[in-house]
Structure formats: structure tokens, C-alpha cells
Amino acid sequence: MGTISLEHSDRLYWLGRYTERFFTTLKALGNLYDSMLEEKHGYQDYLDCFGLADTYSDSREFIRSFLFDMQNPNSAAYSLERAYDNGIVLREEISTSSLSFLQMAKDTLSKARQSDNIRMSLLPLEDTLYSFWGCINEHIFDDEIRNIIYIGKTVERLDLYIRLKYPFAQVEKEFIRLCKNLNRVPKGTPYRYSTKYLSTLVEILGTESNYQNESLQATAALAHLFEPAEVSL
């Protein structure tokens, strides 16, 4: 095939970002739910990470909103819907099989809403998402196309890990992964990073103390790394 438009390259990038946002959100909410079994109102820590106000009457309402509420732009359901929106216009690049896993994830998520044990019924999502990534790997022959999705995925993961204050070792690993992906981008394409912001990131994520103190600057630099406009719907 070997020809890809700007619009599609943006879609690939955002497919990577939203799929990862969905998955990391899901896992973070799972961990939170687990820790809330003993502690009450632990969910405020989660809201603080994103600078969001607490408008929820209890943890149950919070969890349901962040899992299922399509009107909540920070919810898992919202991210998955956006991932699907981007994926559906990329069928010939990512394959019908890859796309089918996003559809399955949507179906599983909406079924889980009715379940008595939400966490239990969300478990198959993990299989589905890993299958999606396996399928992406398997079906996309063009390394350039695959790399754009992976850049989106890694940028998103790094952003969320920093916001959610994950341990330095984990963040550092994801940053190295991102640098590897960036090195594969051919010159003259939109996912060629800005060297200025990359060096800011290198500096902040270079030592643990900088990471602890300057996480806000790190997420800002990450946001400016390519500055591709999100494709509007």
C-alpha cells in the first residue's frame, strides 16, 4: 500500500492514545477499587491527579461514572468510544480483526454495567485489549504505520503514569520506550518530535528527584512534543 494521508496518520496516533487511555484508566480504577475496600473516599486522590472536583455522592457513583459515563470525558467508556471512532476509519490499515476487538471491548463494557460484580465482568477486557495489540502487531506490515500507533500509545501511557504518580522506575522504562519509537520516525513526517521539548523531557525524567519535583513541566512538555491537531469528529 505504502501511502498514508495526514488525516490517517493523526487517526493512528489518536487510536494509540485513546486505546491506551482506556486500558490504563481501567487498570487504575481497578487498583483504586481494590484499595477502597478498606478505606473510604479514597477516590479523591484519583480526582486530584487530574485536578478534577469531587461532585460524587459516594465511591460507587464515582466508579460508575469513570467506568461507564459517556458524558464524562475522563471515563473509560468515553476513551473507548473515541478509540473506536478513530479505528473505524482505519479498517484497511489495522484490519477488520483488530477493529473487532474494540467492538468486543465496547460490548463487554456495556454488559458489565448491568453486572452485580463489575470487576469480575470487566476481567475479559484485559484479554480483549491484549488481543487487540497482538492483532495490530500481526496485521500491520508497514513499520511506519505501526510506529505511529505505538507512539500514541506510549505518549499516553507516560502522561497517565506521570499524572497518577507511578514509581520512577516504571516511568523511566516507558520514557525509554518512547525514545526508541521516536528514533524510528522518518524525517519530514508529522511525528518527528520537537527537539526542544524532548530535551526538557530528558532532563526531567533523567533523575528521580527531578521527576518528583517537576512532573507538571513533564506533562506539559509531552503535550507539546508533536502538537498535531486532534482530528475533529
Partner 1 sequence: MVQFQERQFMQAVGNAGEINELLRRYGVKFGIYKNGVFHEQFFPFDPIPRVISAVDFASIEKGLVQRVNALNEFLFDIYHEKHIVHDGVIPEDFIYISKGYLAECEGITPKNKIYSHISGIDLVQAKDGEWYILEDNLRIPSGASYPLIARELTRIAAPQAFKENKIVDNRGYAELLKETMEYANCGGIRAILTPGRYNAAYFEHSYLAELTGSVLVQNDELFVEDNILYHRTYSGGKTRIGVLYRRISDEYLDPLTFLPESLIGIPNLMEAYRSGNVGIVNAPGNGVADDKGIYYFVPKMIKYYLGEEPILKNAPTYLPFYEEDRQYVMDKLEKLVIKDVSEAGGYGVVFGSDLTKDKLEGFRKTIAAEPRRFIAQEVIDFLDLPIVDNGETVMRKADLRAFVLSGEKTKVWASGLTRFSRNPDSFVVNSSQGGGFKDTWVLSR
Verify binding: residue 21, partner 1, rule CB under 8 A: no
| 8 A C-beta contact, residue 228 and residue 13 | yes
Chain centre to alpha carbon of residue 32: 17
Reference 46, options 173, 35, 57; nearest CA is: 35
Binding region for partner 1 (CB under 8 A) out of 2-10, 26-34, 53-61, 205-213: 2-10
4 binds partner 1 (CB under 8 A): yes
Which residues, 185 to 214, sit near partner 1 by CB under 8 A?
A: 186, 188-190
String of b and e for 182-199 (b: at least 16 CB within 10 Å)? beebeeeeebebeeebbe
Distance CA(99)–CA(95), nearest Å, equals 6
The correct pick among 36, 47, 49, 88 for binding partner 1 (CB under 8 A) is 88
Q: How many helices (H) and strands (E) does the chain have?
A: 12, 0
- Determine if 99 is a binding residue for partner 1 (CB under 8 A): yes
Among 39, 48, 61, 107, binds partner 1 (CB under 8 A): 107
**Whose Cβ is closer to partner 1: residue 32's or residue 102's?**
102
The answer to whether 80 and 102 have CB atoms below 8 angstroms apart is: yes
Other residues' Cβ atoms within 10 Å of the Cβ of residue 205: 25
Q: How far apart are CA 133 and CA 162, in angstroms?
A: 23
Choose one: 56-64, 89-97, 115-123, 194-202; the region binding partner 1 (CB under 8 A): 89-97
Dihedral of the alpha carbons of 87, 61, 41, 31, in degrees to the nearest 10: -30
If one asks whether residue 231 binds partner 1 (CB under 8 A), the answer comes out as no
5 touches partner 1 by CB under 8 A: yes
Nearest distance, CB of residue 106 and partner 1, angstroms: 10
Interface size with partner 1, residues (CB under 8 A): 24
In this chain, which of 44, 72, 74, 95 binds partner 1, going by CB under 8 A? 95
Binding window for partner 1 (CB under 8 A); candidates: 34-42, 56-64, 75-83, 86-94: 86-94
Among 90, 105, 179, 103, CA closest to 136: 90
By beta-carbon proximity to partner 1, the closer residue of 42 and 228 is 228
Q: How far is the CB of 84 from partner 1 (least distance, A)?
A: 9
Query: Is residue 96 a contact point for partner 1 (CB under 8 A)?
Result: yes
Pair 208, 165: CB distance under 8 Å? no
Residues making contact with partner 1 (CB under 8 A) = 1-9, 88-89, 91-92, 95-96, 99-100, 103-104, 107, 186, 188-190
